[in-house]
Amino acid sequence: MCGIVGYIGTRNAQGVLLKGLSRLEYRGYDSAGVAIIESRKLNLVKRQGKLRILADVLKDDPSKGTIGIGHTRWATHGVPSDTNAHPHLDCTGKIAVVHNGIIENYLDLKKILLKEGHKFVSETDTEIISHLIEKYYKGNLETAVSRTVKLLKGSYAIAAVHSLEPDKVVGARCDSPLIVGLGEGENFMASDVPAVLDFTKEVIYLDNHEIIVLTRSGVTIKDYDGRTISKKSSTIKWDIKQAEKSGYEHFMLKEIYEQGDIVSNMLDERLRAGKISFEELAIKASAFKRFKKIAIVACGTAYHAGLTGKYILEEYVRIPCWVDTSSEFRYRNPIVDKDTLFIVISQSGETADSLAALREAKRRGAVTLGICNAVGSSIARESDGVIYTHAGPEIAVASTKAYTAQLAILYLLTFYLGKLRGAISPPKMKKLIAEFKRAPELMNELISEYKDPYNNIAAYASEFKRYYYEKHNKSYFLYLGRNINYPNALEGALKLKEISYISAEGYPAGEMKHGPIALIDENPWVVCIATQAKTYDKMLSNIQEIKARSGIVIALVTEGDKEIQHHNVNYVIEIPKIDELFSPLLVVIPLQLLAYYVAKKFGYDIDQPRNLAKSVTVE
């Protein structure tokens, strides 16, 4: 949700800000803007639409200043427009502010400011911040920001500049991410690490209720009571090249293709002489022995990974486990206590609902474990222990590689806990690990089949489009799965609707007769995951029931399946043979590719689908 960048140094600020914003565009892309101080005046340019529109405007009349702030927006208050785009100014036009988050009490504050004579031009909640800073400004921006933030309720990361103080950028955070990038004679602030990685690898992660002042020569961090805080910096280990398309047409395709290698690297890193190691994990083995239940919360794709986690944890650790979406968890009265291992899964580690759920679980006494991709993220830092998925930066809004990495960590965690609690015997463990080790190679085998642009899934997508337009002018997808692949049915449907805007629903196949079967005629396409021995016959019956009602079936079967040809399915996708425990790692790949090729056929913006943002940092 919204990306903010602040810069002060000796380089051309416009170039730095545009580069930083381009790295943050995954957070929101309905408008963008910059405010740069030049000759003690603010140069403000903002435009509705993608960043490139702003960049084109700036190209014609470049700013020479070396200090400024920038923003890429995901609209919350007020439609995407030039006026609602950030930065927002005060009445004097000297103060500019960019903001990520939601100010919940903005209407109350606005009423007061209006009475005092302030003039508002936008419909945003953010604009009150610039006017509050104006109200409290007595020649020191830091003091004015510090008085302002004490009045704000809600979530925010802000950056502010004053044209008469061209030697500082001031920022603050509360429940929205903000990092500092440290340079030589220059400093940066941003919503996320990629924004500064072209310039520095030294970063400081800010915590809630901290105010930072960037100057050319240094950075000071204070709490809201003005006490100086000293914080250590961290060196980012990954390279900005990992956040580039590297010749691929879309980040999503690149990230789908990376999945086999990510799992392979993870196994190399986590398995030492047959032992599972989570080096970064601060929770002691003895603590893991005493839990009586496991609770998993997450949102979206990470929630689907959590659902798979329930199947494997209950089977191999024999502890009751429930899974909730973070937004539901935080508003009910869950039975979470000191006997609960509370696992929160999040690619970004910044999802507002997941973070709030984590805090609630801590408040109730649970031991909390974060499974995160983004190193140093809020969830990673606030959990009692963290396990990183190390999938590298995921840029496409539709999550793919983070999902398989989360699944892989959940397998490892299951085996780790199962062994620790005596639920998995050493020989069984050996067998499980040996089979798991086959997965990355099989994932890569499957992926390489689809590197041919004329692959069968691309062809099915083409037929779908033709069918969709020519015959019905409307169609939709139903995804059916059972048992450990039921979450993949949900995930396949989510991927499709996110990037192709086609209605799609995931269902446990056994539930089909309890409702969704009413939808079946010659119109919907039904994706049936029929790879598992345990439930294979049941899925074949479901397929028969769909075909008897003229439904169109894409069946995902195990390589070498001879039976499926007798069932009159329309399309077949083969998955390499692996123990069904690990089949979710493979099954999801064609589902991701199906969504990708359908969206591509329709010509949609695959990496930046409408209305979505990568990291949902507001409720």
Catalytic annotation, residues: 2, 614
- For residues 605 and 545, give the distance between their C-alpha atoms in angstroms, rounded to a whole number: 36
Minimum separation from the CB atom of position 615 to ligand AGP (A): 6
Q: Contact between 347 and ligand AGP (CB under 6 A)?
A: yes
| HSE value, Cβ hemisphere, 13 Å, CA-based, for 518 | 3
Q: How far lies 445's CA from each of 32, 215, 442, 457, 572, in Å?
A: 41, 51, 5, 16, 17
- For residues 215 and 476, give the distance between their C-alpha atoms in angstroms, rounded to a whole number: 54
Minimum separation from the CB atom of position 30 to ligand AGP (A): 16
Which range of residues in 21-29, 228-236, 395-403, 507-515 is near ligand AGP by CB under 6 A? 395-403
Position of tokens 């893991």? 288
Q: Contact between 302 and ligand AGP (CB under 6 A)?
A: yes
Which one, 23 or 118, has the nearer CB to ligand AGP?
23
Among 122, 130, 176, 348, binds ligand AGP (CB under 6 A): 348
Q: Contact between 369 and ligand AGP (CB under 6 A)?
A: no
Which one, 206 or 398, has the nearer CB to ligand AGP?
398
Is residue 365 within 8 Å of 224, Cβ to Cβ?
no
Position of tokens 């008469």? 164
Q: Contact between 498 and ligand AGP (CB under 6 A)?
A: yes
Among 213, 252, 323, 398, binds ligand AGP (CB under 6 A): 398
Q: Return the C-alpha torsion angle 13, 19, 20, 24, nearest 10.
A: 150
- For residues 350 and 335, give the distance between their C-alpha atoms in angstroms, rounded to a whole number: 24
Coil, strand, or helix at residue 413?
helix
Residue 177 tokens read as: 């991410």
Q: Contact between 378 and ligand AGP (CB under 6 A)?
A: no
Q: Contact between 354 and ligand AGP (CB under 6 A)?
A: yes
Kind and range of the H or E element at 162? Answer: strand 154-162
- For residues 526 and 547, give the distance between their C-alpha atoms in angstroms, rounded to a whole number: 10
Tell me the angle at which helices 127-136 and 141-149 cross, rounded to the nearest 10 degrees: 120
Coil, strand, or helix at residue 179?
strand
Longest Cα–Cα distance in the chain: 81
Among 128, 299, 424, 526, binds ligand AGP (CB under 6 A): 299
Minimum separation from the CB atom of position 613 to ligand AGP (A): 8
Which one, 243 or 564, has the nearer CB to ligand AGP?
243
Kind and range of the H or E element at 68? Answer: strand 67-73
Kindly report the length of the chain. 619
Minimum separation from the CB atom of position 342 to ligand AGP (A): 15
Which one, 132 or 407, has the nearer CB to ligand AGP?
407
Minimum separation from the CB atom of position 271 to ligand AGP (A): 25
Name the CA radius of gyration of the chain, rounded.
26
Size of the site for ligand AGP (CB under 6 A): 16
Among 346, 383, 475, 558, binds ligand AGP (CB under 6 A): 346
Coil, strand, or helix at residue 469?
helix
Is residue 507 within 8 Å of 478, Cβ to Cβ?
yes
Which one, 6 or 300, has the nearer CB to ligand AGP?
300
Which range of residues in 39-47, 73-81, 341-349, 568-576 is near ligand AGP by CB under 6 A? 341-349
Among 32, 276, 616, 618, binds ligand AGP (CB under 6 A): 616
By Cβ distance, which residue is nearest to ligand AGP?
300
Q: Contact between 399 and ligand AGP (CB under 6 A)?
A: yes
Minimum separation from the CB atom of position 278 to ligand AGP (A): 19
Burial class (CB in 10 A: 0-12, 13-18, 19+), 96: buried
Q: What is the DSSP string of 264-318?
A: HHHHHHHEETTEE--TT--S-HHHHHS-SEEEEEE-HHHHHHHHHHHHHHHHHH-
Is residue 6 within 8 Å of 187, Cβ to Cβ?
no
Phi, psi of 282 (to 5 degrees): -90, 0
Residue 77 one-letter amino acid: H
Site for ligand AGP in 556-615 (CB under 6 A): 612, 615
Among 68, 70, 300, 551, binds ligand AGP (CB under 6 A): 300
Minimum separation from the CB atom of position 609 to ligand AGP (A): 9
Which range of residues in 169-177, 250-258, 298-306, 361-369 is near ligand AGP by CB under 6 A? 298-306
Among 163, 259, 351, 535, binds ligand AGP (CB under 6 A): 351
Minimum separation from the CB atom of position 202 to ligand AGP (A): 24
Minimum separation from the CB atom of position 596 to ligand AGP (A): 12
Residue 199 tokens read as: 């310039």
Which range of residues in 194-202, 347-355, 466-474, 586-594 is near ligand AGP by CB under 6 A? 347-355
Q: Contact between 488 and ligand AGP (CB under 6 A)?
A: no
Which one, 5 or 595, has the nearer CB to ligand AGP?
595
Which one, 48 or 326, has the nearer CB to ligand AGP?
326
Residues that bind ligand AGP (CB under 6 A): 299-302, 346-348, 351, 354, 397-399, 498, 612, 615-616
